[in-house]
Amino acid sequence: MGDAKRAVEPEKGQLHRQRRGIVTRGELVRSARHIFARDGFEHARIEDIALRARKTRGAFYDNFKDKDDVFLAIFEEDMARDLTELGPLLLGLPTIGERIEALVKYLAHLSEDLERMLLNVEFKLYAIRHPHKRKRLADLLREMRFRTAIPEISRLLPQLDGKPASTKLSDCLAICSVMDGLALNHLFDPDGLDEQAVGRYLRLCLEETIPEDVYSSRRTASGSTRVARSAGTRLATNDTKISSVVTARKVTRSRELTP
């Protein structure tokens, strides 16, 4: 009996350390978001990231190799959160048109996230300024999309499933690039490029990724008044869900940014 108890105790201790390690990593990532957005990637210091998270410099290096590594963790966390939120929003809609419309509205809401857009621009500018790191960082981000975003997009938009993986990646990169440009200019001049305009241009970009035969049938199917009304009701419901998701994210983010 005593031997069994002694065998269980180390397992409990190991489980506790693992949980504590996950919590520490999450706190460092949240701190890094704030420091990178405030100071820029180039000037952000590991000491400041650790200090804001109330951790030691050693704790940072226990979880990340360098600033590049923690920045990639931020991207991965954002990507995972987006896909988790998009699943319930899109899978409840039966047609490709409705799913694209819901995706457009979700992405347009994301363009309002100042911190996220700043982090995105900072990371890419840093990579461009350091050619010896650019290819490695681009390759890592591309691999991350291959591993997570591409399979999930195929599940949510099965009409794209006939495309080669390389084409899906190109489509994904193009949509992200268009969104980066639209979001940056919307945040710079919201009166000149409002959220409605951002949504319109995102919609055009997304529709370009849909095979012509699918897009044509979608337009034909949308001609029915009854179908259009039914779709309108579903999309209105989905708009409420998207707004709730975005509001919850903003509340969470504001709490995380509170010192």
* pLDDT tens, position by position, 145-180: 877 777 777 777 776 667 777 888 888 888 888 989
Largest Cα span, the chain: 75
Token look-up 């650019």 returns: 134
The 10s digit of each residue's pLDDT in 39-54 is: 999 899 999 999 999 9
Inter-residue contact 75 to 123 (CB < 8 Å) = yes
Dist CA 41 CA 32 (whole Å): 9
Q: Is the dihedral of CA 153, 159, 165, 166 positive or negative?
A: negative
99-135 pLDDT, tens digit each: 889 989 998 888 888 999 989 888 899 999 999 999 9
Q: The whole model's pTM is what?
A: 0.72
- What confidence score (pLDDT) does residue 11 get? 63
Predicted confidence at residue 129, as pLDDT, reads: 92
